[in-house]
Amino acid sequence: MTGHQKLKPLVIGRSKNPRCFKGAKSWEVDYDFNKKSWMMSEICGKFDQKLDKRMTAECRKIALLFDNCPAHPKEINQNLKNVTVFYLPPNTTSKLQPMDQGMTKKFQNTLSQENSAKSYHCT
């Protein structure tokens, strides 16, 4: 994998039009919002549908791994063609936390490096 297939991260905020994006022509993230900045089943469904359209256009099939959370609707697989969703069994998320922390740290480092490179080229 070369990294060219990276997806924009999904960011959920409270504001429909956050000030940090004011004046931006394009966003480096997929952004959605709700009152509490929580992942909701509607947001998850929209994201999954958008991802499925992209994978269909690219003639690719992928798998997503979701934890057991009400925001991840079980019936989502019925509407997707090129994305298959698998769910972790109940009560296993706490056992996987060390893995989550490593992935989160790697993600944060990658974003930080990309942002530093962009700001360096702007000056």
Shared-domain flag, residues 59 and 79: yes
Shared-domain flag, residues 84 and 74: yes
Shared-domain flag, residues 52 and 107: yes
- Give yes or no for a contact between 10 and 47, defined as CB atoms under 8 angstroms apart: yes
Question: How high is the pLDDT of residue 112?
Answer: 77
Q: How many CB atoms lie within 10 A of CB 40?
A: 16
Shared-domain flag, residues 23 and 79: no
Tell me if 63 is assigned to some domain. Answer: yes
> Domains in the chain: how many in total?
2
Shared-domain flag, residues 53 and 94: yes
Tell me if 101 is assigned to some domain. Answer: yes
- Give yes or no for a contact between 52 and 32, defined as CB atoms under 8 angstroms apart: no
Q: For residue range 109-123, what is the model confidence (pLDDT) as tens digits?
A: 877 777 665 554 444
Shared-domain flag, residues 34 and 85: no
Shared-domain flag, residues 44 and 28: no
pTM of the model: 0.72
Residue 90: half-sphere exposure toward Cβ, Cα within 13 Å: 1
Q: For residue range 41-55, what is the model confidence (pLDDT) as tens digits?
A: 999 999 999 999 999
Cβ-based neighbours of 52, under 8 Å, separated by 6 or more: 79, 80, 81, 82, 83
Domain of 32, in residue numbers: 8-38
Cα first-last separation, the chain: 31
